[in-house]
Amino acid sequence: MDNNLTTTTLAEMKELVRTLNEAAYAYYVEDNEIMSNFEYDRLYDRLSALEAETGTVLPDSPTKSAGAGYKAVSKLEKSEHEFPALSLDKTKDRYALPAWLGGMDGVLSWKLDGLTVVLTYEGGMLQKAVTRGSGTVGEVVTHNAVHFGGVPKRIRFKGKLIIRGEAVMKYADFEEVNRRIPETEAKYKNPRNLASATVRLLDSKEAAERPVTVMAFDLVYIDDGRGIRDANSKNAQYEWLEGQGFSVVPHTLVTPLTVVSELERFERQLPENEFPTDGLVLILDDEAYGRSLGSTGKFPRNGIAFKWQDEAVESRIREIEWSASRTGLLNPVAIFDPVEIEGTTVSRASVHNVSIARALRLGKGSRVSVYKANLIIPQIAETIESTGETPIPENCPVCGGATSVHENEGIETLYCENPDCPAKHVGRFTHFVSRDAMNIVGLSEATLETFIDAGFVRKFADLYRLERFRDNIVTLEGFGVRSYENLQAAVAASRSVKFSALLNAAGIPGIGKDMAKQISRFLGTDAYGRFTGLIAERFDFSAVSGIGEVINDNIYEWADDVSRFEEFKELAGLLDISDDVRSVRADGDNDVQASSGAISPIEGKTFVITGALNGFSNRDKMVEFIEERGGKVSGSVSSKTDYLINNDVNSGSGKNKKAKELGVPVISEEEFMKLAASPVYDPGR
């Protein structure tokens, strides 16, 4: 793959990485310069060139930001900012923004929710990283900053440069870090708390283990801006910073005409944002003009923050619903009096797990405040007044089986312990309603899961008795009276069913659509009655063409599971079952109903397989394929053999010789597949 990566190149890259890291360690950790800047840059450029050429970056390469060696400090030093940071004025009115721009262009960007750090570079090296602190005095966190994403330790620009960036942590990483914290210790409330705590850690080794990224949002000072295409443009400054290796906050250039639509584009991205945000920032693109506006004393006039309304609204807990999932996990969902937030009515919010449910003390009637995180996801902000503990059910709401609380890395979760819980077998139900089975049109997997989790559906027959839950169903989110009626019509239509479809729906291992047809045709008229009758007699189904011992065993394993077989019979009692294909009977009545689906071209044919296979992963798979289509596979070539399958058609093997003697065609796997696919293709004849 890496054609350019020869052993010599790799050895050179390793040596460069080692030398550069040693120098960086001496510089940052020991405050000792063992190499001139000129020499460091020469080696660094050579390494960058090799990395570009080979497409390989060694894990501890200094061109990535990690790997500068670790440093622990006894306390964080204070440092005064050369350029004090002011905070921006805010608005919640998006339509005020075009007028605010006053005919000028602006740069619109996320207002990231983390901790602001100020980075100072000199001579192409990171000199200092200081937290924003009070705005005039912050804390020195250089030892940690060198390990954060988006902070290059060295940049090409050699003058003095000061930038501000926001140290942030992804939601996913926040959850991961919190999971590792034992229950007995305090967990971080949100990604901002965690990012802030990480930036200010005394031991940089610990900081390096937490994925923090710094995103630049302000070029504060540059002593020689000639390298920037248009040094007076904020937008051009951002591009230049990206070119220097910084991560820059996502941003876009706007005019008074486009600012609202661009704002709405950001708004649509909110649900997918990996990083927490706290609104948007609009800054005048023309820096000199912006600076000339000065400040109001409190706020600079060149920028404004936009915030979405996310006020918490008060509501009252009605109940806690425990929604089941396929793993048996039961998730608490708070159901509260419907309230209007950000233009929609909200009445439920996930409470995530038992630990959080307990901490919130969500007894029935508790007063809570509810908000929409990032405008989208309803959350319980806090319990204003609790009426008591959150009830934790002892029985699964789906199957009534016993529940138990599991503890993993300090987080408590509730599980249903019943292996037969329908919630764990959603797949059986999805198969049951699918097109070649009961064909209940429009009953999606998501809806099935909802019905099962809510306890409306525990067994197949329950799908034909949904009217018992009509009132609950029509009030489900996204499920009105119309959807309910459409569903009931589809359920009613599915009651007329061919026996083969019903048999397929039963979900007996190995009996799919084709095999079910095979059995149904064998049974002939009154297929359902004959089927149950034959099972009672313990008839050997391997007499059916295409059925082997394994499938026969599967049938009896299923039928001997009383609950399964009873479920099947109960279901059958609610249906109008027709025979799809009749068997060959003594009266010569062997008309095959044309509508019942095509017969496979290999049905009734006997095959012998020999030699290595290319298309099928193994011989069993091919046997299964043939049997499913009503064919048979035998071990030796005889006059009853229709085809010998051998990819080495001209081999001198015993089976090939025998086949030739008997006039049995020898076909390749490829020819076999053509034969299986086409009723008219007839290889070897």
Q: Which residues pair with 538 in a beta bridge?
A: none
One-letter identity of residue 318:
R
DSSP state for residue 140 in the 8-state scheme: B
Nearer to Zn ion, 416 or 667 (CB): 416
Write 565-573 long-range contacts (CB < 8 A, 24+).
Answer: 565/535, 567/459, 567/460, 567/461, 568/460, 568/506, 569/532, 570/459, 570/461, 571/459, 571/460, 571/461, 571/464, 571/502, 572/502, 572/528
Stretch that binds Zn ion, among 149-157, 399-407, 470-478, 624-632 (CB under 5 A): 399-407
Asked if 403 touches Zn ion (CB under 5 A), the answer is no
CB of 334 to Zn ion, least distance (A): 21
Asked if 416 touches Zn ion (CB under 5 A), the answer is yes
Stretch that binds Zn ion, among 11-19, 172-180, 417-425, 671-679 (CB under 5 A): 417-425
429 in the Ramachandran plot: left (φ > 0), alpha (ψ -120 to 50) or beta?
alpha
Whole-number Å distance between alpha carbons of 491 and 468: 14
Stretch that binds Zn ion, among 80-88, 167-175, 355-363, 416-424 (CB under 5 A): 416-424
Is 75 one of the catalytic residues?
A: no
Asked if 510 touches Zn ion (CB under 5 A), the answer is no
CB of 454 to Zn ion, least distance (A): 12
- Indicate which single residue of 219, 398, 508, 511 sits in contact with Zn ion (rule: CB under 5 A): 398
Stretch that binds Zn ion, among 176-184, 396-404, 461-469, 510-518 (CB under 5 A): 396-404
CB of 446 to Zn ion, least distance (A): 19
Nearer to Zn ion, 141 or 423 (CB): 423
CB of 402 to Zn ion, least distance (A): 9
Residues 6 or more apart whose CB falls under 8 angstroms from that of 467 comprise 488
Stretch that binds Zn ion, among 363-371, 389-397, 574-582, 651-659 (CB under 5 A): 389-397
Whole-number Å distance between alpha carbons of 263 and 252: 10
Nearer to Zn ion, 394 or 537 (CB): 394
Burial of 114 (0-12, 13-18, 19+ CB in 10 A): buried
CB of 244 to Zn ion, least distance (A): 57
Stretch that binds Zn ion, among 226-234, 388-396, 475-483, 509-517 (CB under 5 A): 388-396
Stretch that binds Zn ion, among 27-35, 79-87, 128-136, 421-429 (CB under 5 A): 421-429
One-letter identity of residue 11:
A
Q: Which residues pair with 606 in a beta bridge?
A: 632
Nearer to Zn ion, 67 or 455 (CB): 455
Asked if 397 touches Zn ion (CB under 5 A), the answer is no
> 3-class DSSP state for residue 306?
strand
- Indicate which single residue of 418, 450, 518, 600 sits in contact with Zn ion (rule: CB under 5 A): 418
- Indicate which single residue of 126, 284, 341, 396 sits in contact with Zn ion (rule: CB under 5 A): 396
Nearer to Zn ion, 424 or 530 (CB): 424
- Indicate which single residue of 227, 243, 250, 401 sits in contact with Zn ion (rule: CB under 5 A): 401
Binding residues for Zn ion, rule CB under 5 A, total 7
Whole-number Å distance between alpha carbons of 95 and 642: 79
DSSP state for residue 628 in the 8-state scheme: H
CB of 421 to Zn ion, least distance (A): 3
First to last CA, the chain: 47
- Indicate which single residue of 145, 421, 506, 609 sits in contact with Zn ion (rule: CB under 5 A): 421
Ramachandran angles phi, psi of 327, nearest 5°: -85, -5
Nearer to Zn ion, 253 or 329 (CB): 329
Asked if 245 touches Zn ion (CB under 5 A), the answer is no
Nearer to Zn ion, 396 or 626 (CB): 396
Tokens 């279901």 correspond to what residue?
571
CB of 591 to Zn ion, least distance (A): 48
One-letter identity of residue 238:
Y
- Residue 572 tokens, joined: 């059958």
Whole-number Å distance between alpha carbons of 539 and 281: 76
Whole-number Å distance between alpha carbons of 482 and 474: 8
CB 432 within 8 Å of CB 503: no
CB of 426 to Zn ion, least distance (A): 12
Q: Of 111, 234, 498, 655, which is the active-site residue?
A: 111
Whole-number Å distance between alpha carbons of 249 and 254: 15
Nearer to Zn ion, 81 or 424 (CB): 424
CB count, 10 Å around CB of 595? Answer: 8
> E-assigned strands of 507-656?
576-578, 606-609, 632-633, 643-645
Asked if 426 touches Zn ion (CB under 5 A), the answer is no
Nearer to Zn ion, 175 or 417 (CB): 417
For 348-360, give one letter per residue: b (16+ CB within 10 A) or e: bbebbbbbbbbeb
- Indicate which single residue of 399, 555, 581, 667 sits in contact with Zn ion (rule: CB under 5 A): 399
Burial of 261 (0-12, 13-18, 19+ CB in 10 A): exposed
Nearer to Zn ion, 361 or 425 (CB): 425
Return the active site residues. 111
Residue numbers at the binding site for Zn ion (CB under 5 A): 396, 398-399, 401, 416, 418, 421
